[in-house]
Chains A and B, each alone.
Chain A
Amino acid sequence: MRVLAAMSGGVDSAVAAALAVEAGHEVVGVHMALSRNRNQFRTGSRGCCSIEDASDARRAADILGIPYYVWDLSEKFEDTVVADFVAEYEAGRTPNPCVRCNEHIKFEALLDKAMALGFDAVATGHYAQVIDRDVIDASGETVTMRELHRSPNDAKDQSYVLAVMGPERLRHAIFPLGGYASKDEVRAEAERRGLSVSNKPDSYDICFVADGDTKGFLRERLGSRPGEVLDTEGNVVGEHDGAYAYTVGQRKGLALGRPAPDGQPRYVLGVSTKDNTVIVGPSELLSVNRIVGDKAVWFAQDILADASLTQEGSDWFAIEGQVRAHGAAIPGRARVVPLAQAVDLMPRGKEEFAEKCTRVEGASESQDHTALVEVELESPLRGVAAGQSIVLFRGTRVVGQATVVASDRHATLTNSAQSAAVSA
Chain B
Amino acid sequence: MLPAIAKSPPVGRVTLTGQCQIKPLDLIAVKPARISYLDHAATTPMAPAAIEAYAEQLRVVGNPSSLHAAGRRARSVVEAAREELATIYGCRPSEVIFTSGGTEADNLALTGVYRARRAADPQRTRIIISAIEHHAILDPAQALATNEGAHLVVLPVDANGLVDCEALRRELADHAQETALISVMWANNEVGTIQPIRDITALAHQHGVPVHSDAVQAAGHLSLDFAASGLDAMTITAHKVGGPVGVGALIARRELTLAPLLHGGGQERQVRSGTIDAAAIHAWRVAAADLAKNLTQRTTNEQHLRDRLIAGILKSVPDATLRGIDPTGPDAHLRLSSIVHFTFTGCEGDSLIYLLDSHGVQASTGSACQAGIPQPSHVLLAMGLDELTARGALRFSLGASSTQEDIDHVMSVLPLVVERARRAGLATTAPARS
Residues on A facing B (Cβ under 8 Å): 1-2, 23, 26, 28, 31, 33, 36, 38, 51, 54-55, 58, 67, 69-74, 76, 79-80, 104, 108-109, 112-113, 115-118, 120-121, 129-139, 142-146, 171-180, 301-302, 304-306, 309-311, 360-363, 368, 370-371
Q: B421 to A117, Cβ gap below 8 A?
A: yes
Q: A2 to B27, Cβ gap below 8 A?
A: yes
Q: CB-CB < 8 A to B353: which residues of A?
A: 69
Q: B2 to A309, Cβ gap below 8 A?
A: yes
- CB within 8 Å for A302 and B9 given contacts A67-B357, A116-B420, A117-B420: yes
Q: A72 to B374, Cβ gap below 8 A?
A: yes
Residues on B facing A (Cβ under 8 Å): 1-22, 24-25, 27-28, 30, 350-351, 353-355, 357-358, 370-375, 420-421, 423-428, 432-434
Q: B6 to A67, Cβ gap below 8 A?
A: no
Q: B5 to A69, Cβ gap below 8 A?
A: no
Q: A58 to B421, Cβ gap below 8 A?
A: no
Instruction: Report how far A54 CA is from B372 CA in the complex, Å.
Output: 9
B15 to A: closest C-beta gap in Å = 5
Q: CB-CB < 8 A to B17: which residues of A?
A: 129, 131, 178-179
- CB within 8 Å for A305 and B432 given contacts A23-B19, A69-B372, A172-B22: no
Instruction: Report how far A171 CA is from B10 CA in the complex, Å.
Output: 21
Instruction: Report how far A130 CA is from B423 CA in the complex, Å.
Output: 28
Q: Interface of chain A, helix or strand or loop or mixed?
A: mixed
Residue of B whose beta carbon sits closest to that of A139: B4
- CB within 8 Å for A138 and B16 given contacts A33-B371, A113-B427: no
Q: A116 to B423, Cβ gap below 8 A?
A: yes
Q: CB-CB < 8 A to B11: which residues of A?
A: 133, 135
The residue in B4, B10, B370 that gathers the most chain A C-beta atoms within 10 A of its C-beta is B370
Q: A136 to B6, Cβ gap below 8 A?
A: yes
Among B20, B371, B425, point to the contact of A38 (Cβ < 8 A): B371
Among A26, A31, A117, A133, point to the contact of B424 (Cβ < 8 A): A117
Q: CB-CB < 8 A to B373: which residues of A?
A: 33, 36, 70, 72, 74
The residue in B2, B3, B7, B18 that gathers the most chain A C-beta atoms within 10 A of its C-beta is B18
Q: B428 to A133, Cβ gap below 8 A?
A: no
Q: Top 8 closest A-B pairs, CB basis?
A: A178-B18, A134-B12, A135-B9, A70-B372, A116-B424, A138-B4, A112-B427, A174-B20
Q: A76 to B5, Cβ gap below 8 A?
A: no
Instruction: Report how far A99 CA is from B358 CA in the complex, Å.
Output: 32
Q: A305 to B6, Cβ gap below 8 A?
A: yes
Residue of B whose beta carbon sits closest to that of A32: B373
Q: CB-CB < 8 A to A135: which residues of B?
A: 5-6, 9-12
Q: B1 to A133, Cβ gap below 8 A?
A: no
The residue in B17, B351, B355, B357 that gathers the most chain A C-beta atoms within 10 A of its C-beta is B17
Among B7, B20, B24, B371, point to the contact of A305 (Cβ < 8 A): B7
Q: B20 to A137, Cβ gap below 8 A?
A: no
Q: B18 to A137, Cβ gap below 8 A?
A: no
Residue of B whose beta carbon sits closest to that of A142: B12
Q: A175 to B25, Cβ gap below 8 A?
A: no
Residue of B whose beta carbon sits closest to that of A23: B19
A330 to B: closest C-beta gap in Å = 25
Instruction: Report how far A314 CA is from B179 CA in the complex, Å.
Output: 78
Q: B12 to A133, Cβ gap below 8 A?
A: yes
- CB within 8 Å for A79 and B432 given contacts A72-B374, A116-B424, A117-B420: yes
Residue of A whose beta carbon sits closest to that of B20: A174
Among B12, B18, B27, point to the contact of A130 (Cβ < 8 A): B18
A314 to B: closest C-beta gap in Å = 9
- CB within 8 Å for A118 and B18 given contacts A304-B2, A363-B434: no
Instruction: Report how far A301 CA is from B2 CA in the complex, Å.
Output: 7
Q: Can you name 6 extra interface pairs (CB under 8 A) apart from A72-B374, A112-B424?
A: A33-B372, A79-B432, A129-B18, A133-B11, A133-B13, A305-B5
